[in-house]
Amino acid sequence: MAVDIFDVVDASDNVVATAPRWQVHAEGLRHRASHIIIYCQSPQGRKLLLQKRSANKDLYPNLYTTSCSGHVDSGEDYNTAAVREMFEETGLKVDISELTPICKISPCAETGNEFTQVYEFYCAENTNFSPSPSEVEKLEWILLDDFFKLTKTNPELFTPSFLCVMRSALEK
């Protein structure tokens, strides 16, 4: 099994080193991630695509998270990682021009000390997704209003990074 290698970055998001994934997480080293929030417009209102993480994930198994997200591998930029993760987690092949960058979150405890570039993507509600079972338990649409209610009544169902990403994205 290949070892994931990440760029370690300074407070200004400049690469200063590389380290294996396990070390980055164990030592809380600053690194990078891309998140894509996928929406659709339905007759009932705007919907958000939720991803339920696979039970096999080492971090936050079985919790709901951003529609699509992942670490930026060493040597990658945020855009390349976003396009790669879209394919890995949804089966959709997109061009970076189809993703709209909406904000960049500075490292914090909620994101696991990641600089997080957030994008949004719109598609049809009947889009045929084919997520990787090793990454994703399921993808499901939820009305945005219902999502907000659920985060208030059951925040433990969601990853901390997802709640942070949604707060930041909706402030923009």
pLDDT at 172: 67
Q: Which residue is associated with the tokens 């209003």? A: 145
> pLDDT tens for residues 30-51?
999 999 999 999 999 999 999 9
SS3 32: strand
Predicted confidence (pLDDT) per residue in 114-153, tens digit = 999 999 999 999 999 999 888 899 999 999 999 999 999 9
Read off the pLDDT of each residue in 4-11 and give the average, rounded to a whole number. 97
Top CATH class of 5-171 equals alpha beta
pLDDT band at 99 (very low <50, low <70, confident <90, very high): very high
3-state secondary structure of 45: strand
Q: Report d(CA 159, CA 170) in Å as an integer.
A: 17
The residue type found at 13 is D
Q: What percent of the chain clears pLDDT 90, i.e. is strictly above it?
A: 90
Q: What is the pTM of this model?
A: 0.95
Nearest to 172 by CA among 121, 120, 123, 122: 120
SS3 148: helix
Q: Which tokens hold the place of 74?
A: 């060493």
The residue among 170 and 41 whose pLDDT is bigger is: 41
Amino acid in position 1: M
Dihedral sign computed on CA atoms, order 103, 109, 115, 116: negative
